Amino acid sequence: MIYYCNLLTIEEKRKIRTEKLTLRQLKLKFPEFDWTEFVQNGIFHSLANITLSDNETIYLSDFEYIKNAIKIFSQELNNNKKNLDNLFIWVFVYFSREFLPKKFNVVPAKYSKLLRNHKKYSATRMTGCIDSVSDLMEFAVGRLYVDNLDLKIGYPDNIFNNTHMTEIYREYKMNNFNFFANNILINQILVRQNLQELGKKVDRKIWLMGPAVVNAYYSAQFNQICFPAGILQAPFYDSSVPNYLNYGGIGAVIGHEITHGFDDKGRNFDKNGVYHEDGLGDLWTNKTIDSYKSRAKCIVDQYNNFLIKQINKTMNGNQTQGENIADNGGLKESFRAYKRWENNNGKEPLLPGLNFNQDQLFYINFGQVWCSKYKASYLEQSLKRNVHSVGEFRVKGTTMNMKAFSNTFNCKPGQQNNPINKYKIRNLILRRSGNFTFVCILVLLMIVWLVKMKLLDVRKNEITLVFRVLKSQSIE
């Protein structure tokens, strides 16, 4: 039951450092485990037909996990090998349950219902099949989705290249009568393709998320931010509404993803996605790191004090630190970008029937994005595992740190969402390197360009390029 054992707590996971070593060194470090049989003969040779030498470089980012797992493996191998057999079969069965007949989902369905009133497991067979196809063939589904939208947004150009699409799905030989076998086949193909990437030049054009997904991401290794077509819709983005709403929606999301490059994890990666250890001084000076850490601690303390009334427990500021930094930076960047846009283009019309000005509507749409309702059981789980704060504090935490927010709504000093001492993520991230204004201008230019085009044509190369400039400029 390794998967469920939580060999590492979230707190421990936060402390994970990436270690670079050769396969030979890994074998010396953990001699109890047969790496030759598992990695070289097993995974790479039999699955991907790749011969790995002992000099192969390994980036081990979960050292403590491997240490704990190997301890358990060796104990069980010596004491009761059957436990290990059961574990592997169980993990396989557990992850296969969605592809099996309804009766296999009775227990997960009960669990899911208790936890969050989630209907996923009691959904119709059709919904289940759609989910499954979306997960396993996300670019084919994405092509159908953007085709239907008829907007050239948020997708890699090559999904309209039939030769490319035929090639990536060439081996998907579907059996019309065996859903389970189809899923196993696709997973085998995906694992093999992934393994075969080893040693090849990194393809920076690759999308790590399908176009139909309502989400966005930042990847430190690829130094890339990505906004699939799925998220480019209301309340995040709508080309027919005033820009103050879009800046409060997708603008803050874009800022959030950019800021991840400077959160407590992202700050260790350079523009080429290479990890740099603190203390070497080749990416950040020790003085900058110390200053960063003390300001990051303010954010941790702030969120530690938020009380989730529904379950009478406080947020875990350390666990959610990276996301909170990204939320705070993102909202500030987007608001400043909007004000610059407004300066250049003039005030936009207000919304009929509502007595709010443009800036207020910017914040109201930001709030609407995170408007959520949870079951208590879900909140309990979230508190233990989620690296994002609950919706309420994604709004309160960020806005209470912004002087501009208090000015916008004429909040009195010391009023509930306008504390006298504000936590300044802006300073935390960039002021030390003196480039905040520069970053804002670039973010502004990027958003203006996107909105001007009337379509958020986020071609990754260009965004990556902008981001690369941002990052290299902000390192002291």
State the nearest-atom distance from the C-beta of 145 to Zn ion, in Å: 23
**CA R_g for the chain:** 24
What's the rounded Cα separation, in Å, for the pair 84 and 70? 12
Element (H, E) at 111: helix 106-116
CB of 326 to Zn ion, least distance (A): 5
Strands 224-226 and 307-308: what pairing?
unpaired
**Residues contacting Zn ion: total by CB under 5 A:** 2
Q: Name which of 323 and 359 has its Cβ closer to Zn ion.
A: 323
CB of 464 to Zn ion, least distance (A): 17
Decide: 325 and 429 in contact? Cβ < 8 Å: yes
Alpha helices in 370-435 (DSSP H): 376-385, 391-399, 403-408, 425-429
Q: What are the tokens at 187?
A: 């997973």
Nearest residue to 332 via CA among 246, 438, 255: 255
Could you tell me which stretch among 142-150, 230-238, 315-323, 397-405 binds Zn ion (CB under 5 A)?
315-323
Looking at residue 197, the DSSP 8-state letter turns out to be: T
Closer to Zn ion at the Cβ: 146 or 253? Answer: 253
Q: Which is nearer to Zn ion, 220 or 451 (CB)?
A: 220
Q: Would you say 463 and 217 are in contact if contact means Cβ atoms under 8 Å apart?
A: no
Query: By C-beta, is 323 or 333 nearer to Zn ion?
Result: 323
Q: How far apart are CA 398 and CA 405, in angstroms?
A: 9
The half-sphere exposure of 169 on its side-chain side, counting CA atoms within 13 A, is: 16
DSSP assignments along 123-168, one per residue: S-HHHHHHHHHHHHTHHHHHHHHHHHHT---SS-GGGG-HHHHHHH
The stretch among 157-165, 316-324, 418-426, 428-436 that binds Zn ion (CB under 5 A) is 316-324
What minimum distance in Å lies between the beta carbon of 138 and Zn ion? 20
Q: Catalytic annotation on 54?
A: no
Window contacting Zn ion (CB under 5 A); options: 274-282, 295-303, 319-327, 396-404:
319-327
Q: Which among 141-149, 170-178, 325-333, 434-442 is the span making contact with Zn ion, rule CB under 5 A?
A: 325-333
Judged by beta carbon, residue 229 or residue 326, the one nearer Zn ion is 326
Q: How far is the CB of 228 from Zn ion (least distance, A)?
A: 15
Among the options 263, 327, 333, 359, which is catalytic? 327
DSSP string spanning 223-246? TEEE--GGGSSTTT--TTS-HHHH
Of the residues 257, 263, 333, 359, which is catalytic?
A: 257
Tell the smallest beta-carbon distance from residue 284 to Zn ion (Å): 21
Query: Which part of the chain contacts Zn ion (CB under 5 A), choosing from 21-29, 111-119, 326-334, 463-471?
Result: 326-334
Would you call 462 a catalytic residue per the annotation? no
Other beta carbons less than 10 A from residue 13's beta carbon: 16
- Residue 133 tokens, joined: 């196809």
- Closer to Zn ion at the Cβ: 260 or 426? 260
Tell me which residues touch Zn ion (CB under 5 A): 323, 326
Catalytic residues: 257, 327
